[in-house]
Structure 1
Amino acid sequence: MLKFEHKLRGNVALGINPVGCMQEVVNEIDYVKKKGPYEGAKKVLIVGASSSYGLATRISLAFGAGADTIGVSFEKGPKSERNLGTAGWYNNIAFREEAEKEGLIAKNFVQDAFSYESKQEVINYIKNDFGGKIDLVVYSLASGVRKDPDTGEVYHSSIKAIGEPVVGPTIDMQEQLYYTETLDYATDQEIADTVKVMGGEDWQLWMEALKEADVLADGVLTTNYSYLGTELNHSYYGQATLGAAKADCDEKANNINALLSDINGKAQIVVATAVTTKASAVIPFFPVYCIALYKVMAEQGTHETPIMHQDRIYREMIYGGKPEYDEFNRLRPDNWEIDEDIQAKTKALVQKINAENFKSDMTAYDMLFKEFSVLSGFLVENYVEKDVTLEELKALKY
């Protein structure tokens, strides 16, 4: 029987618990069901559907709005007892199994979303097996590497500052260590490469391909998740390489709006709140901000996990008639995070955190660590340990 080990390298998870991953999907489905049904999109494509924002979006739309969904993600299945695959592989399986119990279509494409071949396979499926049209396209892809579909050149993103280095405190969850880190500044090439990987180019390519294939319904909506943060993290996020990539998404949204104008479509940038994801955990300094922010927001009753946040976005804001936009027409569900009182209290707490107290009750370190662990199937609520063999895992179909 397999033993599942919660192994980390810094803030990167190395081990997974497939049973726990699948249980967490069920937990998130139950959360949405308890909130009740809502009217929303019925035919949905989600690019980047296997974890965090993308998975939570898929769960909310399927089990809240009754949507049939297509999910595209790049995940790996089990190979050996030491290589059980990725958490997203099991998330996809659990989602499909639960959705099909409800009579919903839940098609998983596990492949490189950046390639033209993947786009064409999805288009063929929409035409032949999905009713011919989709009314919502969610772009939630998080990758550090992208292969240009035209040139074959491989680009790598960088999490770096722009202009000058940034020095500040961060946390290593493997070593349970609080320390000072220096974030080096990016070269012009590194900035450009980060935009190439994490900007809006592939989002626009998806929308162009779908539009040309005539599989977008009249009035189609496409969303892309961004993050802006506040003065507490601008130096290493909003004004850094990650911020440059997000700014590119704003530009591409304008292009997509022009593209969709003749079918009354809309491209919507959604500025999401700070949540625990595999991607956010490796952003320098961000864990310290989170353990302060989460503590303050939890005390106010406004802290959210990805499923809570995404369900609010679609249930209340996009399809519930209560949107909040900024002057650039971006949807702002981060309104709870950027509230002046919340930020003032978060700033005050950040300034008190040090190596001696960062794991104390004064902060939300335990909350951050649990939420991070859940992403890999550990510390999951309602988890029941089971004897599982490698052969049983290999027999699961995505």
Structure 2
Amino acid sequence: MSERVIKPVGRGFLFLDSHPDGCAQLVRDLAGQVERRTTERRVALVIGSSSGYGLAATVAGLARYGIDGVGVSFEKAPTPRRTATAGWYRTAETAALASELGRDFHFVNADAFADTTKSEVLDLIAERFGGVDHLIYSVAAPRRVDPRNGETYESALRTIGSPYRTKSIGFEDGSPVLQEVGLEAATEDEIAQTVKVMGGEDWARWVSALEERGLLKPDFSTVALTYIGSELTGPIYRQGSIGAAKADLEQTALTLSKDGVRALTSVNGAAVTQASSAIPGIGLYVSLLHKVLGERMQTPMQQSVALWDQLTGATPLDLDDEGRIRLDRWELAADVQDAVRAQWDAATAENIADVADAAWFYAEVRRLYGFDVPGVDYDAETEVDVEWPKGV
């Protein structure tokens, strides 16, 4: 047992410790947003189940449709000096939620890119469930080791074609600061490596591994989560090296779709995640978007509920002309984008706290690590040595 008071310590959008109670409460708050529906028993495999949209998809599936299955993520355990990562604590609470709901859901802590992880997970699926109905792929990683040749690929946050400078938001002692950040243009090798890490190759390998083991149930479907975003962030995101990887992910969906496999990408809306908060311009854009929309801005949980409703057939698939599920129409509506652009153009170092919803954004970043969560006593000691769930 190791109880102590946990305070937020870090720099910028990165914190060294996470708060176990805050992370647990976040999971409970997510589940509390979901209205339960009944359906036939479904088995899901969620790759990237501990954070962001992957966590929301896992909790939404459990709380709304009572899914069974396996979640895969790669988190760090607590040490004598540091707490575990936030995803570790969120996973422990998600497992507790699954148990309370009477679901047979397991969590594997391992590198999703590794063949050993695929073997472990597929063995578990074969033993417990005999197959899967759905595979949700939500992976954001800085690097990937190719298990076939041992080569390490590094993703690069770069533009394509020419350098680019953009407005961005930062914080000094909790107060917002408007910055200008520049990114260099990617080399061809950097683009290729980013595609190797964040494109569709590993997603396809998961589907192939399941198929080779005979673990695809009838009417199997798989969805990889992606993002398009605004013209304001386009040069850095969608038209940049990350965008090349997302385009590869979407192309992979087309090649995976065949008899017995329905493969789709789901274009989700903007959100504050550990991955997105590190991208220049995205934080400012999201804080402006929330300033414009307020409570009308759809949360990852609302979008994940919509995704599950479409996957289960409760509602029709909302597809665009390229066959992608669109959960971001609320964000890219012309009137919304016009209002956000006006706020973007108006933002200055002097008015940033008023033009953007900076306080909301900063609180959302802190909540990623379990801080600023209502109902949590941050002056009390909390147990940091939480075990990884051993199964439900």
TM-score normalised to structure 2 length: 0.94
Alpha-carbon deviations, 1:89-124, whole Å to 9, x = none?
Answer: 111110101110111012010001101111111111
User: What is the deviation of 1:40?
Assistant: 7.2
For the pair 1:22 / 2:24, whether they are aligned, the reply is yes
- State the secondary structure of the residue aligned to 2:331: coil
Identical-residue share of aligned pairs (%): 32
How does 1:234-249 map onto structure 2 within 5 Å?
234-249=234-249
> Could you tell me how far apart the structure 2 residues matched to 1:257 and 1:379 are?
43
Specify the code of the residue in structure 1 equivalent to 2:368: L
> Could you tell me how far apart the structure 1 residues matched to 2:386 and 2:265 are?
38
User: What is the deviation of 1:144?
Assistant: 0.7
How does 1:50-61 map onto structure 2 within 5 Å?
50-61=50-61
> Could you tell me how far apart the structure 2 residues matched to 1:173 and 1:389 are?
30
Retained in 1: the 8 A contact 2:165–2:181? yes
Alpha-carbon deviations, 1:12-70, whole Å to 9, x = none?
Answer: 232211111011111111111xx232547710000010011011001011110011131
Specify the code of the residue in structure 2 equivalent to 1:59: V
How does 1:173-322 map onto structure 2 within 5 Å?
173=171, 176-258=176-258, 261=259, 263=260, 265-298=261-294, 301-315=295-309, 319-322=313-316
Aligned position for 1:72: 72
Aligned position for 2:102: 103
For the pair 1:327 / 2:325, whether they are aligned, the reply is no
Aligned position for 1:153: 151
Aligned position for 1:377: 370
Alpha-carbon deviations, 1:357-377, whole Å to 9, x = none?
Answer: 2222x3211221121111100
> Could you tell me how far apart the structure 2 residues matched to 1:213 and 1:174 are?
52
Retained in 1: the 8 A contact 2:17–2:84? no
Alpha-carbon deviations, 1:172-226, whole Å to 9, x = none?
Answer: 2355421111111111111011000000100000000000001110110100011
> Could you tell me how far apart the structure 1 residues matched to 2:160 and 2:154 are?
17
For the pair 1:359 / 2:353, whether they are aligned, the reply is yes
TM-score normalised to structure 1 length: 0.93
User: What is the deviation of 1:10?
Assistant: 2.3
Aligned position for 2:119: 120
- State the secondary structure of the residue aligned to 1:359: helix
Q: Indicate the RMSD between aligned Cα atoms, in angstroms.
A: 1.7
> Could you tell me how far apart the structure 2 residues matched to 1:109 and 1:202 are?
17
Alpha-carbon deviations, 1:330-362, whole Å to 9, x = none?
Answer: 0111000000111111111111111122222x3
Specify the code of the residue in structure 2 equivalent to 1:349: Q
For the pair 1:138 / 2:136, whether they are aligned, the reply is yes
- State the secondary structure of the residue aligned to 1:16: coil
- State the secondary structure of the residue aligned to 1:220: strand
Matched residues, number: 385
Which of the residues 7, 13, 19 maps onto 2:15?
13
Deviates more, 1:226-235 or 1:186-195: 226-235
> Could you tell me how far apart the structure 1 residues matched to 2:353 and 2:162 are?
30
> Could you tell me how far apart the structure 2 residues matched to 1:174 and 1:47 are?
35
Aligned position for 2:48: 48
Unpaired segments of 5 or more residues in structure 1? none
- State the secondary structure of the residue aligned to 1:155: strand
User: What is the deviation of 1:317?
Assistant: 7.2
Alpha-carbon deviations, 1:118-142, whole Å to 9, x = none?
Answer: 111111111112x201100000011
Specify the code of the residue in structure 2 equivalent to 1:153: E
Which of the residues 324, 339, 343 maps onto 1:345?
339
Retained in 2: the 8 A contact 1:134–1:220? yes
- State the secondary structure of the residue aligned to 2:135: strand
Specify the code of the residue in structure 1 equivalent to 2:255: N
Unpaired segments of 5 or more residues in structure 2? none
> Could you tell me how far apart the structure 2 residues matched to 1:113 and 1:29 are?
25
- State the secondary structure of the residue aligned to 2:71: strand
Retained in 1: the 8 A contact 2:89–2:386? no
User: What is the deviation of 1:389?
Assistant: 4.2
Retained in 2: the 8 A contact 1:210–1:216? yes
Retained in 1: the 8 A contact 2:6–2:382? no
Alpha-carbon deviations, 1:124-167, whole Å to 9, x = none?
Answer: 111112x2011000000111110001111111101110111111
> Could you tell me how far apart the structure 2 residues matched to 1:350 and 1:41 are?
47
Q: Compared with structure 1, are the counterparts of its residues 335 and 40 closer, same or farther at alpha carbon in structure 2 (3 Å cutoff)?
A: farther
Q: Compared with structure 1, are the counterparts of its residues 51 and 40 closer, same or farther at alpha carbon in structure 2 (3 Å cutoff)?
A: farther
Alpha-carbon deviations, 1:238-279, whole Å to 9, x = none?
Answer: 100110000000111112113xx1x2x200110110001000
> Could you tell me how far apart the structure 1 residues matched to 2:14 and 2:336 are?
29
Alpha-carbon deviations, 1:311-340, whole Å to 9, x = none?
Answer: 232236763324321111001110000001
Retained in 2: the 8 A contact 1:96–1:106? yes
